[in-house]
Amino acid sequence: MRVLMISKACLIGSYQSKLVEIARFPDIELTVAVPPSWRERGHTSVLERAQTSGYELAVEPIAFNGSFHLHFYPRLGRRMRATRPDIVHIDEEPYNLATYHALRLGKSIGARTLWFSWQNLQRRYPLPFRLIERYNLRNVDYAIAGSAGASAVWRAKGYGGPLAVVPQFGVSTDDFFPRTVRRAPDRGFVIGYVGRLVPEKGVDVLLRASARLGGEWRLAIAGAGPLRSHLETLAHHLGLADRVFFDGHVSSARMPAYYRELDALVLPSLSRPNWVEQFGRVLIEAMAAGVPVVGSDCGEIPRVVGEAGLVFPEGDVTALHDCLARLMRDRELWSHLARRGRERVLARFTQAEIARKTVAVYRELVGEAP
């Protein structure tokens, strides 16, 4: 079966391993349309051709680059007529113009269609996006939700068609694996944070919790964002200037090695009226690398972590401190969580497993599923 996927997320080289895994299935002929670049929050991601075997990675010009709700691909109709896909996989939220545009084009050539959503808050959008959402809910053939929370949102909004819960991407265990070299005993305990430096990520909570720790430790913060200068000032006021390191943006290619330098990964997200954590991909990357994870109970974090990490009430500095202190002093707990995290990823969150579930959706769409 011929599949055309439209996905700006697949600009990122590490995400393309899922495409390679999908293309391994002998009944799948996969074309993935991506823009040459994508602008978001002042940063431009340029297409990385990292893993392209077995499928066609097609670059499509994009209109309104950087506008999450309004962007679309003006030449997509030409691409569809050339490839004649059986399935159009729209890797976009159902309230976006790009989804509406691709869905209309897919229907016009008789293809089966599906869209993907992370949205786990029930929100009412202004016109015209409310009408776009209504059309996309009523006319798509299948939906994939990245989490149980997202699935519940679209059922509550009236989507009654077939729906599968499959995360957008997993991790490649060829790239993300535990360290194999023993560390120097005097290096201290390394706590890590990976993500945007914005208020809702709760990095200030992590700084305040870390300030209460005793012993030898340091905190490595990878990411960029408008809160960096504030966080640097806070670290200074807390007396942590020599323990906290702001490493800035780390490329996807360097992330596996970055995780292997950590002893714990913390995701201290904080709920906002218009946002809760939708998944927390850094959690499964760290777990795959054999790094114990600590997360707040914001959004999907507890479901992702399960019994393979520690979860604390969001915003609770004392509870986060206690979690970190336990990991620092209890080597048996550390080893247990490192092992359980890796096992959980191998069972649920590898790119191969995500690809298998995605192909099962494709086969159901064209009537080939059991």
pLDDT at 309: 97
Q: Examine the domain organization and report whether 200 and 159 are in the same domain.
A: no
Q: Using the predicted structure, report yes or no on whether residue 109 has a pLDDT greater than 60.
A: yes
- Where residue 187 falls among pLDDT bands split at 50, 70, 90? confident
- State the chain's mean pLDDT as an integer: 95
Is the Cβ–Cβ distance between 54 and 30 less than 8 Å? yes
pLDDT digits (tens, 9 = 90+) for 329-369: 999 999 999 999 999 999 999 999 999 999 999 999 999 64
pLDDT digits (tens, 9 = 90+) for 143-183: 999 999 999 999 999 999 999 999 999 998 889 999 876 66
Alpha helices in 289-367 (DSSP H): 301-305, 317-329, 331-348, 351-365
Q: Examine the domain organization and report whether 321 and 203 are in the same domain.
A: yes
In a domain? residue 176: no
In a domain? residue 332: yes
In a domain? residue 175: no
Cα(70)–Cα(90) distance, rounded to whole angstroms?
A: 15
pLDDT at 180: 79
Q: Examine the domain organization and report whether 9 and 134 are in the same domain.
A: yes
359: number of Cβ within 10 Å:
22
pLDDT at 231: 98
In three-state secondary structure terms, 285 is helix
In a domain? residue 147: yes
Please, how many CA atoms are within 13 Å of residue 17, restricted to the half-sphere of its CB? 17
pLDDT digits (tens, 9 = 90+) for 10-31: 999 889 999 999 999 999 999 9
CA distances in angstroms from 214 to 321, 329, 358, listed in the order given: 10, 10, 46
Q: Examine the domain organization and report whether 264 and 207 are in the same domain.
A: yes
Please, how many CA atoms are within 13 Å of residue 107, restricted to the half-sphere of its CB? 14
Q: Examine the domain organization and report whether 161 and 215 are in the same domain.
A: no
Q: Examine the domain organization and report whether 264 and 295 are in the same domain.
A: yes
Residues listed for the chain: 370
Domain of 9, CATH number, reads 3.40.50.2000
pLDDT digits (tens, 9 = 90+) for 110-151: 999 999 999 999 989 999 999 999 999 999 999 999 999 999
**Nearest of 131, 98, 135, 118 to residue 5 by alpha carbon:** 98
In a domain? residue 21: yes
Q: Strands 43-46 and 37-40: what pairing?
A: antiparallel
Alpha helices in 7-75 (DSSP H): 16-23
In a domain? residue 205: yes
Phi, psi (degrees; rounded to nearest 5) at 333: -60, -45
Q: Using the predicted structure, report yes or no on whether residue 211 has a pLDDT greater than 90.
A: yes
Q: Examine the domain organization and report whether 142 and 8 are in the same domain.
A: yes
pLDDT digits (tens, 9 = 90+) for 236-283: 999 999 999 999 999 888 999 999 999 999 999 999 999 999 999 999
Q: What domain range includes position 45?
A: 2-169+351-365
In a domain? residue 251: yes
Q: Examine the domain organization and report whether 341 and 355 are in the same domain.
A: no
Q: Examine the domain organization and report whether 45 and 109 are in the same domain.
A: yes
Q: Examine the domain organization and report whether 194 and 134 are in the same domain.
A: no
Structural domain total, the chain: 2
Q: Examine the domain organization and report whether 98 and 158 are in the same domain.
A: yes
Q: Examine the domain organization and report whether 6 and 27 are in the same domain.
A: yes
The DSSP secondary structure of 142-195, one letter per residue, reads EEEESSHHHHHHHHHTT--S-EEE--S--B-TTTS----SPPPTTS-EEEEEES
